[in-house]
Structure 1
Amino acid sequence: MADKTIATMIQRRVKESPSDAAIRHKVGSDWKDIAWSDFAKRMENIASGLLTAIDIPDRAAVSILGNTTANWIACDFAALSVGLRTVPVYASLLPEEVGYLHTDTEAVIAICEDKAQLEKVREMRGGFNFFDKDYSADDVKVQHIVVMDPTGIDPADDWESLADLEARGAEKLAETEADRKRRFDQPERDDVATYTYTSGTTGPPKGVIQTHGNMLAMLESALATGIFQSSNVSAGGFFLFLPLAHSFGRLIELAGPFFGSPIVISSVPTLGEDLGATRPGFLPAAPRVYEKMMSKIEAKVAGAPPIRQKLFHWAINTGKETIPYRQKGKPIPGGLGFRLKIADKLVLSKLRAALGFDRAEVLLSGSAPLSVPVHEFFLAMNLNLLEAYGLTETCPGLTANLPDNFRLGTVGMAFPNVEIKIADDGEILAKGPNITSGYLNRPDATAEAFDDEGWFHTGDLGSKDEDGFVKITGRKKELMKTSGGKYIAPAKLEGRLKLMPMIQEAVAIADTYNYATALIALDPEELDEWAKQNGAEADPNSEAVRAAVQAHVDEVNSTLASYETVKYFRIIPMLTVDSGLMTASLKVKRGPVVERYKHLVDEMYKNS
């Protein structure tokens, strides 16, 4: 029987697996498990505490600001258990951005990770300006603030600690019992569970309405693929380092209780160390994570003795030979299978263990295109790296490759219960129970996103082959038209440029011009590694670095049509969220990048 709401799904997990690990997280230097029975008690206390903090209306919105932690998840599950709607907020957002999310959702309680997040809420409560619109203090409906980690915060009347809220909630469990049960029973499958915001680069972000049914339908579709039903996933758990304000991260948070696997909590700075320590069964990540792993392995091999290098390349090439059989679910021929066993014993198993992937059942890549060479490298290590595709509006999946049915260079086939079709102009359209009904307070944007037949317009361009495998070719609104009338997809150029490990991001430019150029941002860590390998200075402005990048650009150009080739490039500093040139979900803000480096763009076109 299908779960009615996220809360009933979690309740089912607690009843079925009370002693199983719900959360695996680091406490000091040790990794600790929190059993579902203990986590459920925390959720109950927090729910009771929220209901006694203020006179909170049914279905009110509660925001959660901060990085991925056990506290974040406990607060989210607790709020959902009493029918509240949660609003995940990136820790990196500015006060005015935080303010907009609160006024748009009319959130009445703000749960902050620490002092830094508290200060943002305090600032926005006084009013703010966002995209040339003034918001007054009266526009902000927050009545109460809760702080998870109150370190360094002076006592004040405008906040309380999560510990104090939990303690009060525990004292008032009996008093709140009837109200908690009423609120728990109230939501239906089509009621709103959460508002998740898409990054706004040219206007205010849009609040995607995600119902209990949307989120559960996505989990049910994943269940139907069978990729998570293994002992390795159950034991190793779902590795979660992604922000919980990201729809991909939120899916993993809910997949833990749905599939009965622990949620292994990590962070970007400790990613490598934590993978080695926890040996997860499932890792979801953006392509950049896999690119950096591959780059580090190759750099280490480059410094090894010739015999070890030769053995490494033989083992990887042997692994690559198995890909044509694996992608069609066919058995590997005897001779190749024998060589693979030797390669695995001598090299591949050691590589997997070094990465923390010795019991990884599935690695998933999403949020950006995965390059074929990187994909082949991980498949060659005898790992199931699968590329998938979706959007915040699809909670977040539409298509995925499967371990025994995949095609390189594609994002796989539609999930069960999801329909995909390609419009006449090449745009990918979708239908399915996991797809949002629209955007909060934005009827204009909702009308633009859905056509009269109910198809959701993704904004992505692509194709679908006769077997249903989908390939992404670019963003509809990002197609660049040269002065000669040729159309260029920037994602194609940028994806290939970023295959060089030291290139963090690339921004292609060609719209209205008669040739393409690029702004290229370098990754300082990868630049240092390159410099060590080549006996050069790690200076992005040096001739050696420029020559290396130019050689790579020339290689990329050899794979492109003449009108697509990058004629000139300029090196710029690494793009970051703090610089205002990347969104909180780490997507490049193309317009602001081009505007900030307009002098370099003008330089590249001065003779055009």
Structure 2
Amino acid sequence: MIKENFIKLFEDAFQKYWDLPAYSNYGEDMTLTYADVAKWVAKLHILFEQCNIQPNDHIALIGRNNANWAITYLATVTYGAIVVPILQDFNPNDVHHIANHSESKLLFTSDNIWENLEEEKLKTVQAVFSLTDFNCITIIDRREENEKAELEPILERRHLKLEVVNSIFRLKYPQGFRKEHVKYIEKHNSELVSINYTSGTTGFSKGVMTSGNALAGNIMFAVGTGIIKEGYQIVSFLPLAHSYGCAFDFLTTTCIGCHIHFLGKIPSPKILLTAFAEIKPNVIFLVPLIIEKIYKKQIQPLIAKPTIRWVLKIPLLDQTILSTIRKKLIQAFGGEFVQLICGGAPMNAEVEDFLQKIKFPYTVGYGMTECAPLISFTPVDRFVPKSAGEVIPVMEAKIINTDPKTGIGEICVRGENLMSGYYKNPEATDSILDEDGWLHTGDLGTIDKQNNIFIKGRSKSMILGSSGQNIYPEEIEAKLNNMPYVMESLVVENHGKLHALVYPDYEAVDLENLNQKQLEKVMEENRVALNSMTASYEAILKIHLYPNEFEKTPKKSIKRYLYSTAFHKVSDIEGQ
């Protein structure tokens, strides 16, 4: 058990950093101090009391990254209730299902999301509140018409108005709200604090039950590394409802006294680079896809120029060019960051090789929602290229079902950060957690003597070759994605042969005025080049152009299961 109590971490943070800036919404002229945040948390506690919320009741939360999302999360857990963060990318039916399955009594939501939800489909929610201003949007009255004359409503809107909450707040703290008033419920770390619904690979999402201990384990490890310091500027653009963004862009940085700038827009490279230039963050948490896009758009065209390629072959001169590129790339991320931390997926090998070549300060970690999320991480100065970092001290890992030829097997983990199980789903829990407490991740990889994890792919996506070879499509896709006019790709198997679905970089195609036949010719050249770089059993028979961007999980991994039949659909289109 982690000795630091999860709830107490926030109590201490508010008291210690009282006057420091805490939260800003990027693009808005507003900044809340830690004192302001603590006051809003206290007001929401009053609102919860008005709603008859009890400790361990469930409160659902869905919306874009912003200060009020963070305040609602903190108010919920420090009240002793259980927060149910829902990804804003989920479709309305999934949101209805999650709110009902989690038995959430309140729902806090962005106004634009509420417009697409149906009140009658929320079976357990009693009241809905706006994340814009915390005002009550609606009270869901489930009394039958013939009961309304006899039964009192469970909640009344007049009791939930913000002016009523403010009035109670003033009566409760007549001399003003001070540090000493920040005293939260005593809740043991072993108890449940959140239910995170994963994106899932089939059917509805699974609710990961996360204890205070698991979150405290993540926070205290990050604090112990010393890579985040009081007063650091942070740009929070990873989805807060996803465990990675929640743990490190928000919870850890709040506990350390950082100033968090919430980016509510879709984090395209252009928007991100503008935000980085303005805020100049000190630590950046991101997924590899973002840095890969920046590399492909800004760096790859530069180093592909004949003159630059020629210079890079000349000793000394090459270092001058690489040093210049390094400075420009660092400046693109704001110029003030200590290190850039990638998580959520393995990094593209070509991109990582280049980052190593220019001595760029990055590192890669590994985790999953079921570990809240951290499993492995190493700071920049000890990071082993192509790894996902060392297994962190509060966790342990092992490889099972090892391939005798490659040493690759399934990664299993256990430790302080582990989930309690899937909410109301013992079958799913038993399928991933064994009797000795090991979680079977479904990821394939190896572990070296220094406890560094090397990830090769997902066991579900592995393809068995005709002669029994294990083929990891992600490794082939990583090479193909670096080729001309390829935005992203997906390798699939059909009748013992490998095919690649490619979503082209249509922006680049339009700039070069390529027609369909010319694009197909380039893709055939890409296929030949790709096959020269891979083993014979990994050869791609044909590249098929795919019309749309592939659907992705919150950590930007392609939802491969959606495309098991996509090859046949594309083949039908091509045959017409």
Deviation at 1:463, TM superposition (A): 0.7
Tell me, yes or no, if the aligned pair for 2:345 and 2:555 is still in contact at 8 Å: no
What is the TM-score normalised by the length of structure 2? 0.85
What's 1:289 paired with?
290
What's 1:73 paired with?
70
Q: Verify: 1:469 aligned to 2:452, yes or no.
A: yes
Taking the aligned partners of 2:172 and 2:461, their CA distance within structure 1 comes to 52
Q: Verify: 1:594 aligned to 2:564, yes or no.
A: yes
What's 1:557 paired with?
531
Taking the aligned partners of 2:288 and 2:182, their CA distance within structure 1 comes to 44
Tell me, yes or no, if the aligned pair for 2:11 and 2:184 is still in contact at 8 Å: no
Q: Verify: 1:44 aligned to 2:42, yes or no.
A: yes
Deviation at 1:490, TM superposition (A): 2.0
Deviation at 1:587, TM superposition (A): 3.2
The worse-fitting range, judged by mean Cα deviation, of 447-456 and 102-111 is 447-456
Of the candidates 220, 236, 242, which is equivalent to residue 246 of structure 1? Answer: 242
Deviation at 1:103, TM superposition (A): 1.4
Q: Verify: 1:505 aligned to 2:488, yes or no.
A: yes
Tell me, yes or no, if the aligned pair for 1:474 and 1:491 is still in contact at 8 Å: yes
What's 1:261 paired with?
258
Taking the aligned partners of 2:228 and 2:39, their CA distance within structure 1 comes to 27
Taking the aligned partners of 1:600 and 1:371, their CA distance within structure 2 comes to 26
Deviation at 1:601, TM superposition (A): 4.5
Tell me, yes or no, if the aligned pair for 1:315 and 1:343 is still in contact at 8 Å: no
Counting only pairs closer than 5 Å after superposition, residues 17-416 of structure 1 correspond to structure 2 as 17-28=17-28, 32-52=30-50, 54-114=51-111, 116-121=112-117, 123=118, 125-127=119-121, 140-149=123-132, 165-173=161-169, 184-229=184-229, 234-252=230-248, 253-266=250-263, 267=265, 268-269=267-268, 270-298=271-299, 301=302, 310=311, 317-318=318-319, 344=323, 348-353=326-331, 355-416=332-393
Taking the aligned partners of 1:186 and 1:454, their CA distance within structure 2 comes to 27
Deviation at 1:316, TM superposition (A): 9.7
Taking the aligned partners of 1:430 and 1:237, their CA distance within structure 2 comes to 33
- CA deviations over 1:228-262 (Å, ceiling 9, x no partner): 35xxxx44423210111111111121011222222
Q: Verify: 1:575 aligned to 2:549, yes or no.
A: yes
Taking the aligned partners of 1:282 and 1:205, their CA distance within structure 2 comes to 31
Taking the aligned partners of 1:171 and 1:313, their CA distance within structure 2 comes to 73
Deviation at 1:467, TM superposition (A): 2.2
Taking the aligned partners of 1:239 and 1:315, their CA distance within structure 2 comes to 36
Q: Give the 3 Å change call, closer, same or farther, for CA 362–569 of structure 1 in structure 2.
A: same
Taking the aligned partners of 2:489 and 2:8, their CA distance within structure 1 comes to 45
Taking the aligned partners of 2:247 and 2:564, their CA distance within structure 1 comes to 33
Deviation at 1:370, TM superposition (A): 0.3
What is the TM-score normalised by the length of structure 1? 0.81
Tell me, yes or no, if the aligned pair for 2:6 and 2:212 is still in contact at 8 Å: yes
Taking the aligned partners of 2:575 and 2:460, their CA distance within structure 1 comes to 23
Taking the aligned partners of 1:58 and 1:497, their CA distance within structure 2 comes to 52
Identity of aligned residues (%): 24
What's 1:537 paired with?
513
Deviation at 1:265, TM superposition (A): 1.5
Taking the aligned partners of 1:313 and 1:244, their CA distance within structure 2 comes to 46
Tell me, yes or no, if the aligned pair for 1:47 and 1:169 is still in contact at 8 Å: no
Taking the aligned partners of 1:477 and 1:296, their CA distance within structure 2 comes to 31
Taking the aligned partners of 1:495 and 1:300, their CA distance within structure 2 comes to 18
Taking the aligned partners of 1:97 and 1:495, their CA distance within structure 2 comes to 31
Tell me, yes or no, if the aligned pair for 1:23 and 1:262 is still in contact at 8 Å: yes
What amino acid does structure 2 have at the position aligned with 1:369? P
Structure 2: 5+ residue stretches without partners:
142-155, 174-180, 403-408
Taking the aligned partners of 2:297 and 2:97, their CA distance within structure 1 comes to 40
Taking the aligned partners of 1:43 and 1:188, their CA distance within structure 2 comes to 20
Taking the aligned partners of 1:2 and 1:41, their CA distance within structure 2 comes to 28
Taking the aligned partners of 2:428 and 2:329, their CA distance within structure 1 comes to 47
Local SS of the residue matching 2:235: strand
Deviation at 1:75, TM superposition (A): 1.0
Taking the aligned partners of 1:309 and 1:283, their CA distance within structure 2 comes to 33
Taking the aligned partners of 1:296 and 1:414, their CA distance within structure 2 comes to 33
Deviation at 1:94, TM superposition (A): 1.4
Q: Give the 3 Å change call, closer, same or farther, for CA 585–119 of structure 1 in structure 2.
A: farther
Deviation at 1:37, TM superposition (A): 1.1
Q: Give the 3 Å change call, closer, same or farther, for CA 113–155 of structure 1 in structure 2.
A: closer
Local SS of the residue matching 2:195: strand
Deviation at 1:419, TM superposition (A): 0.7
What's 1:134 paired with?
none
Taking the aligned partners of 1:457 and 1:601, their CA distance within structure 2 comes to 36
Tell me, yes or no, if the aligned pair for 2:127 and 2:136 is still in contact at 8 Å: no
Tell me, yes or no, if the aligned pair for 1:352 and 1:381 is still in contact at 8 Å: no
Local SS of the residue matching 1:383: coil
Taking the aligned partners of 1:486 and 1:601, their CA distance within structure 2 comes to 26
Taking the aligned partners of 1:314 and 1:26, their CA distance within structure 2 comes to 44
Deviation at 1:561, TM superposition (A): 1.6
Taking the aligned partners of 1:316 and 1:188, their CA distance within structure 2 comes to 60
Local SS of the residue matching 1:428: strand
The worse-fitting range, judged by mean Cα deviation, of 18-27 and 212-221 is 18-27
The worse-fitting range, judged by mean Cα deviation, of 394-403 and 105-114 is 394-403
Tell me, yes or no, if the aligned pair for 2:2 and 2:217 is still in contact at 8 Å: no
- CA deviations over 1:10-50 (Å, ceiling 9, x no partner): 1111111112221233344x5x5321112211221122223
Q: Verify: 1:494 aligned to 2:477, yes or no.
A: yes
Taking the aligned partners of 1:397 and 1:485, their CA distance within structure 2 comes to 33
Tell me the matched-pair count. 544
Local SS of the residue matching 1:363: strand
What's 1:520 paired with?
502
Deviation at 1:118, TM superposition (A): 1.3
Q: Give the 3 Å change call, closer, same or farther, for CA 154–225 of structure 1 in structure 2.
A: closer
Local SS of the residue matching 1:39: helix
Tell me, yes or no, if the aligned pair for 1:225 and 1:416 is still in contact at 8 Å: no
Q: Give the 3 Å change call, closer, same or farther, for CA 497–304 of structure 1 in structure 2.
A: closer
Taking the aligned partners of 1:484 and 1:582, their CA distance within structure 2 comes to 32
Of the candidates 452, 460, 465, which is equivalent to residue 435 of structure 2? Answer: 452
The worse-fitting range, judged by mean Cα deviation, of 433-442 and 377-386 is 377-386
Please report the RMSD computed on the Cα atoms of aligned residues, expressed in angstroms: 3.5
Tell me, yes or no, if the aligned pair for 2:492 and 2:499 is still in contact at 8 Å: yes
